[in-house]
């Protein structure tokens, strides 16, 4: 590719070309050690330009100086996308006409799917002559013990998308989607960024539902074929995750509550005698009173004894067709566990009776570092989203989402699916 073409196509990935992220990836790849010096030079020559554009100029200059080649740049862009696309919709991988233990047949599979002859993202940015809505612009194959464990595709819209932000000129960007066939976990991941500020009358371009449906149609069109289904038990899955993360905390409160059982029994009986609540109620007066006392006990526990869930949403009805339900949403703005809040304890009887959750927000430490992420039942399946920015007060925590953190979150979720 000519340097001018490389610069032009790099600019279409503007949201992902952040100087700090680029430097981090170059350091990991042990490439372009003079990046800072070249960046300073480019900044002096283009002092009125945005930082992302100067970063693009620096990368192109690196190729000109022989510090980088096109393969290096492709790997860099691939990694930047993997560390940026964290709005992920998860599906069960049912069947596939692929021999995972036959690595020799892999090239035929990829060719049949239409992967590019050259696995170079910047060479496959725009291909408007295709009949498909997407272009497979790059891919990775993961193997484990001479067996294919996953195939990760980078899809780009066949045409650039128009972005229109308030008080700014319109501009055009490439829109990437990661589709991963995760044979080891028997899942399909569809990872995107979002649809904010996209200007289009087409739902499959400007709405997340349209994009996901369109991506699923694309997957269904592949030959050799891939079949999948939505994660239909998603809400009960989220409930079991909530139980896993907070049950121990509730048990600690329950043990402290036991010494009050006689007094709670006596007070409950007095309430029943005085107010005569209907016996048809699903949740007993004793449960309500017990959980209220536990909320007081929880306020005496240490913060690190309270659990990792900092937000939750659930309903008081399991009937999807009915719009007659109340919804409980608890979110601790101080990034403390919801088990430190009396709202959680006062509504816990409803949660345990329903045993279904719509949404969880979790702050948890993994081997790769600290992550804040949400799990949500939406579009009839499970959505996993790593939060890229948060006002979490502990500045010592590395909150930057990464592909490694994403995989550790998926490993955490899989046993519950």
Residue 375, Cβ density class (10 Å: 0-12 exposed, 13-18 middle, ≥19 buried): buried
Cβ atoms of residues 290 and 360 within 8 Å: no
Q: Which residue has the higher pLDDT, 259 or 395?
A: 259
Domain finish residue from 47, 82, 117: 82
Q: Does the pLDDT of residue 403 top 70, yes or no? A: yes
Task: Indicate whether 190 and 251 sit together in one domain.
Answer: no
Same domain, 118 and 151: yes
Name the CA dihedral angle for 234, 239, 240, 241, rounded to a multiple of 10 degrees.
90
Structure tokens at 383: 């959505």
> Do both 198 and 221 map to the same domain?
yes
Range of the domain at 187: 87-229
- Whether residue 351 sits in one domain with residue 267: yes
Q: DSSP for 50-74?
A: -HHHHHHHHHHHHHHTTS--HHHHH
- The total domain count for the chain is 3
User: First CA to last CA across the chain, in angstroms?
Assistant: 45
Per-residue pLDDT, 343:
87
Residue 204: pLDDT band with limits 50, 70, 90: very high
d(CA 113, CA 125): 17
Which of 99-108, 196-205, 288-297 comes out lowest in average pLDDT? 288-297
- CA quadruple 80, 398, 364, 298: dihedral positive or negative? negative
In this structure, the answer to whether residues 224 and 315 fall within a common structural domain is no
Residue 16 pLDDT greater than 70, yes or no:
yes
DSSP 160: P
pLDDT of 295? 81
Residue located via tokens 């020559």: 45
In this structure, are 190 and 209 located in the same domain? yes
Exposure letters 274-299 (e unless 16+ CB within 10 A, then b):
eeeeeeeeeeeebbbbbbebbbebbe
Whether 116 and 206 share a structural domain: yes
Same domain, 73 and 20: yes
* Distance, CA of 89 to CA of 179 (rounded, Å): 10
- The share of the chain scoring above pLDDT 90, in percent, equals 67
Per-residue confidence (pLDDT) for residue 321, from 0 to 100: 62
Give kind and range of the element (H or E) at residue 313. strand 309-315
How high does pLDDT run on average in the chain?
Answer: 90
pTM above 0.85, yes or no: yes
Q: Would the pLDDT of 196 be above 80?
A: yes
Question: What's residue 303's pLDDT?
Answer: 61
Q: Express each pLDDT in 359-374 by its tens digit.
A: 999 999 899 988 999 9
Strand 171-173 to 161-163 pairing: antiparallel
Which residues make beta-bridge pairs with 227? 95
Q: Which two tokens stand for residue 349?
A: 């009887």
Cα 38 from Cα 47, distance rounded (Å): 14
- Tell me, what's the pLDDT at 279? 78
* Cα–Cα dist 19/16, whole Å: 9
| Mean pLDDT value across residues 28-44 | 96
Confidence label for 399 from pLDDT (cuts 50, 70 and 90): confident
Domain end (from 189, 208, 229): 229
pLDDT, greater one: 295 or 44: 44
The CB density around residue 94, as the number of other CB atoms within 10 Å, is 11
Phi, psi (rounded to 5 degrees) for 312: -155, 150
Residues 258 and 389 placed together within one structural domain of the fold: yes
- Does residue 267 sit in the same domain as residue 382? yes
Would you call 271 exposed, middle or buried from its count of C-beta atoms within 10 A (0-12, 13-18, 19+)?
A: middle
pLDDT in tens, 206-246: 999 999 999 999 999 999 999 999 998 999 999 999 999 99
For residue 318, is pLDDT > 70?
Answer: no
β-pairing verdict for 161-163 and 359-366: unpaired
**pLDDT (average), residues 239-268:** 89
Q: How confident is the model at residue 396 (pLDDT cuts 50, 70, 90)?
A: low
The pLDDT of residue 176: 97
CA distances for 290 relative to 171, 255, 355, angstroms: 58, 12, 19
CA atoms lying within 13 Å on the CB side of residue 404 = 8
Confidence at residue 187, expressed as pLDDT on a 0 to 100 scale:
98
C-alpha to C-alpha distances, 230 to 213, 402, 417, nearest whole angstrom: 12, 25, 11
Which of the four pLDDT bands, split at 50, 70 and 90, describes residue 297? confident
The residue ranking higher by pLDDT, 316 or 383, is 383
The pLDDT of residue 43 is above 70: yes
Per-residue pLDDT for 190 more than 90?
yes
Q: Is the pLDDT of residue 317 over 80?
A: no
Q: Quick one: pLDDT band at residue 132, thresholds 50, 70, 90?
A: confident
Report, as an integer, the average pLDDT of 289-304.
79
Percent above pLDDT 70 for the chain: 93
Average pLDDT over residues 147-175: 91
Q: Are residues 163 and 180 in the same domain?
A: yes
Cα torsion angle, 326, 332, 335, 341, sign: negative
32: tokens are 């372009």
Q: 256 and 404: one domain?
A: yes
What is the average pLDDT across 100-107?
93
Which pairing describes strands 161-163 and 381-386: parallel, antiparallel, or unpaired? unpaired
What's the pLDDT at 35? 97
Give the bridge partners for 192, in sequence order: 87
Q: In the listed set 82, 116, 140, which residue is the last one of a domain according to the structure? A: 82
Burial class (CB in 10 A: 0-12, 13-18, 19+), 368: middle
């Amino acid at each position: 590719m000519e340097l001018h073409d490389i610069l032009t196509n790099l600019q279409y990935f503007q949201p992902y070309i952040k100087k700090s992220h680029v430097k981090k990836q170059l350091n990991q790849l042990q490439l372009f050690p003079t990046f800072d010096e070249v960046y300073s030079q480019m900044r002096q020559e283009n002092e009125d330009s945005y930082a992302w554009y100067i970063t693009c100029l620096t990368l192109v200059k690196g190729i000109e100086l022989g510090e980088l080649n096109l393969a290096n740049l492709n790997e860099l862009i691939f990694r930047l996308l993997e560390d940026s696309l964290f709005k992920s919709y998860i599906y069960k991988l049912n069947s596939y006409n692929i021999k995972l233990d036959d690595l020799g047949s892999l090239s035929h599979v990829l060719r049949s799917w239409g992967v590019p002859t050259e696995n170079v993202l910047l060479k496959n940015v725009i291909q408007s002559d295709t009949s498909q809505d997407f272009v497979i612009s790059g891919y990775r194959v993961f193997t484990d013990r001479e067996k294919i464990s996953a195939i990760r595709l980078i899809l780009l819209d066949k045409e650039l998308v128009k972005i229109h932000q308030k008080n700014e000129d319109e501009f055009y960007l490439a829109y990437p989607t990661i589709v991963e066939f995760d044979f080891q976990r028997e899942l399909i991941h569809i990872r995107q960024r979002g649809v904010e500020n996209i200007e289009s009358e087409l739902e499959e371009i400007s709405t997340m539902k349209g994009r996901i449906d369109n991506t699923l149609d694309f997957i269904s069109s592949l030959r050799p074929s891939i079949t999948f289904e939505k994660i239909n038990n998603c809400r009960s899955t989220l409930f079991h995750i909530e139980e896993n993360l907070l049950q121990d905390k509730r048990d600690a409160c329950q043990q402290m509550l036991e010494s009050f059982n006689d007094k709670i029994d006596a007070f409950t009986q007095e309430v029943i005698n005085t107010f005569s609540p209907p016996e048809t109620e699903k949740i007993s007066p004793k449960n309500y009173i017990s959980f209220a006392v536990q909320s007081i006990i929880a306020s005496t526990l240490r913060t690190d004894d309270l659990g990792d869930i900092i937000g939750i949403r659930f309903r008081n009805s399991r009937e999807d067709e009915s719009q007659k339900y109340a919804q409980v949403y608890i979110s601790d703005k101080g990034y403390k566990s919801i088990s430190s809040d009396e709202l959680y304890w006062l509504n816990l009887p409803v949660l345990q009776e329903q045993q279904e959750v719509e949404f969880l927000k979790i702050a948890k430490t993994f081997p790769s570092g600290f992550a804040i992420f949400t799990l949500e039942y939406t579009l009839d399946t499970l959505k996993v989203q790593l939060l890229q920015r948060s006002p979490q007060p502990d500045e010592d925590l590395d909150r930057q989402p990464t592909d490694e953190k994403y995989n550790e979150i998926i490993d955490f979720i899989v046993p519950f699916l």
